[in-house]
Amino acid sequence: MRRGAIRAALMIVTGTVVLAGVVTPASADTGSERYERGNAPAAIDITKLSVHNATARFTMRVAVRDLTERGRFTFHYWSGTSQTPPPRSLLIEVRRVDGDTRARFFGCGREDCVVDTCPSLHAEWHPATDRVEVSASQRCYPRRDPNADPPDVGRFFAWSETRTAEDAGSRPFQLSRG
């Protein structure tokens, strides 16, 4: 995993502690969070994160100001109501390579992330509609017991980066699975 993505994941852990009094939980399984517009280069400037936290699958979509074929988008999902990720969470990195959308799935601990598998992972990159989207089965969520149910509540966050710039977006937000 790239150093910038690891740094961003650790920034989330640290930053969410600071934002503990600010994050507003949502009671539905679908929600969105607006991001500041114009705070990053256009190709990676995330303006909105939308999430559908369904019973069987989760979907995360970012709207990007003037999306092009460059940049890397990372989606972070962790369980529970805690302001910081628990010992298990997941990251999905999406980027374009020679016109193809590539996605990598990571299982994360508190301080590291390792490449993992998620057979149901699906990623889309749409410059015409300025959006990047990922979707996967809730069964891909890393759990100590693989037969355990997926989390009832999740926190969601997205950020983007190029080699020279990043958009750390907004605060994580909480959605029930339903």
DSSP string, 30-46: EEEEE--TTSS-GGG-E
Residue 69 lies in a domain: yes
> Which structural domain range is residue 60 located in?
3-21+31-176
50 in a domain, yes or no?
Answer: yes
CATH code of the domain in which 116 resides: 2.60.40
Q: Is residue 26 part of a domain?
A: no
Record the pTM.
0.83
Residue 13 — pLDDT band, cuts 50, 70, 90?
very low
- On whether residue 49 sits in a domain, the answer given is yes
pLDDT value for 168: 81
pLDDT value of position 79: 87
Average pLDDT of the chain to the nearest whole number: 84
pLDDT at 82 over 90: no
Bridge partners for 108 per DSSP: 89, 113
Other C-beta atoms closer than 10 Å to the C-beta of 89 total: 27
Helix (H) / strand (E) element for 95: namely strand 89-97
